[in-house]
Amino acid sequence: MMDLAEFDYELPKELIAQSPLPDRSASRMLVVDRARQRWEDRRFRDLPAFLGPGDCLVLNDSRVFPARLYGRRARFTGAVEVLLLRPVDAGAKEWHALVHPGKKMRVGEIVRFTHDQEAPLEAEVVARGEFGERTLRFHTDRDVYDEIEKIGHVPLPPYIKRQDDAADRERYQTVFARERGSAAAPTAGLHFTPAVLDECRARGAQVAFVTLHVGLGTFQPPHTDRVEGYRLHSEHFSITAENAARMAAARRLVAVGTTSVRTIESALLSGGLRETAGDTDLFIYPGFEFHAAGAMLTNFHLPRTSLLLLVCAFAGKDLALDAYRHAVKERYRFYSYGDCMLIL
């Protein structure tokens, strides 16, 4: 049995990045060598130097939508904040969502997001979920995604202590994002620019895309103090035949982000790297045997989270936490808009 307290570290608040760098590729990159049990300080722009023929970068092309909505209770007083996680139906009329204040929002409650008297946008709480989420049903004949794009806010994480602004719509999004559906960015991909991708290809590396829509499974807080009791909410993933073939032909898969790792490991466990789609609640923690990922690029993650546990599983707990302490000492920038780590 492992305790989540074993996966903790001290982080000064001033090291939590509040805004992105002007240049995506200017981030620092801590390169961790598992075989030699050491690390070195580099820049993200150096990434192509670590790639070559036979390598395949695996990128999550999920696109973030403005999933945070602000409204008011229709029958009572009080503001309501909603984070849309995942549509339940193909028409996106019903959604799994986190609602604040959650305890007050019972089944049957109505939330009003716009106050157009002729055509207000409203949603009804129709069910409660086991992880504290609610199911909302929008009462509208209009395209819900179109309405969300008009009134929604970029779902910046709570450790970014500011309101989202217009620039976040572009910067809290990878340059290769295509498939709309994430409530949070796959942040390891935020460092890439078209020029860096071109240089990776020039070194002989292939590039493949997978899709995992980031939801509650990626960023939910733990509900237990024991690692073995940690359960993840499922998230939807897919891989096309073309991308599966590109990955299957590679000597080494360099997974960009924990979401890419979970996608390819889930695919392998469910039948191999082939055209596939489904849901995954795969929880990776120390002791997990990796079969797909050969290297990983990842941002720095919060203590006691499934994301940090995955990194510790891949790099080794002691090496990973020692590297984190080095990053703190050298004043790396942490979390979504922060620096990154390449684990070889």
pLDDT of residue 222 exceeding 80: no
**Is the pLDDT reported for residue 115 higher than 70?**
no
Q: What is the pLDDT of residues 171-214, one digit of tens each?
A: 999 999 999 999 999 999 999 999 999 999 999 999 999 999 99
Q: Stretch 301-317: mean pLDDT, rounded? A: 96
Per residue in 183-195, pLDDT (tens digit) is: 999 999 999 999 9
Q: DSSP secondary structure string, 170-181? A: HHSS-TT--EEE
pLDDT of residue 217: 64
Domain 68-151 homologous superfamily, CATH: QueA-like (2.40.10.240)
Average pLDDT over the chain reads: 94
For the beta sheet containing 206-212, the strands, ordered from the edge strand earlier in sequence to the opposite edge, are 38-43, 28-33, 340-343, 293-299, 252-256, 55-60, 206-212, 235-239, 276-280
For residue 117, pLDDT beyond 70:
no
> What's the CA gap between 55 and 279, in Å, rounded?
27
The Cα 36–Cα 199 span in angstroms is 27
Q: Which of 122-131, 136-145, 155-164, 171-180 has the lowest average pLDDT?
A: 122-131
By residue count, the chain amounts to 344
- The answer to whether 295 and 200 have CB atoms below 8 angstroms apart is no
This prediction has a pTM of 0.94
User: Which of 126-130, 156-160, 304-308, 315-319 tops mean pLDDT?
Assistant: 315-319
Q: What are the structural domain ranges in the chain? A: 4-64+167-343, 68-151
Q: Which residues pair with 280 in a beta bridge?
A: 235
Least confident of 52-56, 114-118, 258-262: 114-118
- Per-residue model confidence (pLDDT) at position 219: 61
Q: What percent of the chain has pLDDT over 90?
A: 86
**Which structure tokens are listed for 184?**
């949070």
Residue 61 and residue 176 in contact, taking contact as beta carbons nearer than 8 Å: yes
Task: Provide the Cα torsion 327, 329, 335, 341; round to 10°.
Answer: -10
330: DSSP letter: T
State yes or no: pLDDT of 124 exceeds 70: yes
pLDDT for 76 equals 87
311 with 343: CB under 8 angstroms? yes
CA–CA gap between residue 43 and residue 89 (Å, rounded): 43
Whether 97 shows a pLDDT value over 90: the answer reads yes
Confidence at residue 37, expressed as pLDDT on a 0 to 100 scale:
98
pLDDT, residue 11, reads 97
What confidence tens digit (pLDDT) does each residue in 55-89 have? Answer: 999 999 999 999 999 999 988 889 999 999 999 98
Estimate to the nearest angstrom the gap between the alpha carbon of 131 and the chain centroid.
18
4-64+167-343, CATH topology level: QueA-like (3.40.1780)
Overall average pLDDT of the 157-162 stretch:
94
Asked whether residue 151 carries a pLDDT value surpassing 80, the answer given is yes
- Nearest to 240, CA basis, from 205, 206, 201, 208: 208
What average pLDDT does this structure show over 210-238? 84
| Mean pLDDT score, 245-252 | 98
- pLDDT reading at 318 higher than 80: yes
What span, in angstroms and rounded, lies between the C-alpha atoms of 275 and 291? 17
**pLDDT, position 264:** 98
* E-strand stretches of the chain: 28-33, 38-43, 55-60, 62-64, 68-73, 79-87, 94-100, 110-112, 122-128, 134-138, 179-182, 206-212, 235-239, 252-256, 276-280, 293-299, 340-343
